[in-house]
Amino acid sequence: MSCPHCQSSIELKSYTNGEKLICTSCKLSFVELSCPHCSKSNYWENANDYAQGMKVICCYCQKHFQHINCPHCNARNDYKSADYIEGSITKCYKCNKTFQLMNCTHCQAANIWKNANYITSNPVTCSTCKSTIAISLWKSLA
């Protein structure tokens, strides 16, 4: 992998898809996420512009997708049709454990309920910006 800012090669001991990375050469942060359709790397030079669960359009094949890492086993869960509905209970394809994700309407950060105990439409505090957020599952389906 290489840094999109300075093009320096980056060696990682471990890597989680879609995580914020910091280049050891230029010290700038970014996010890399490979497309589940064409496998090419998509980069966000501003690491705050991407969060798990966001709908993405691959800059190469132009196909839509969403990505969420399982909070239990860290496996990459892709939604190739970009059809994940925020707040809905999902099951990891690898460990079969359930969880929920909702992106903050203020800062876009992913808020994850590892125990799948978020009650849709109940307001909660974002773990990142501390704003109050809520989403109606019925509104998401519209």
Q: What is the residue-level pLDDT of the chain in tens, covering all 142 positions? A: 899 999 999 888 888 889 999 999 999 999 999 999 999 999 999 999 999 999 999 999 999 999 999 999 999 999 999 999 888 999 999 999 999 999 988 888 999 999 999 887 788 899 999 998 866 544 444 3
Q: Give yes or no for a contact between 55 and 30, defined as CB atoms under 8 angstroms apart.
A: no
Q: Give yes or no for a contact between 36 and 93, defined as CB atoms under 8 angstroms apart.
A: no
Name 32's Cβ contacts closer than 8 Å, sequence gap at least 6. Answer: 1, 4, 18, 21, 41, 42, 43
Is 139 strand, coil or helix? helix
Amino acid identity of residue 133, one-letter, is I
Q: Where are the domains of the chain?
A: 20-141
The pTM for the full model equals 0.85
Would you mind telling me the total number of residues written for the chain in this entry?
A: 142
**Beta-strand pair 64-69/110-113:** unpaired
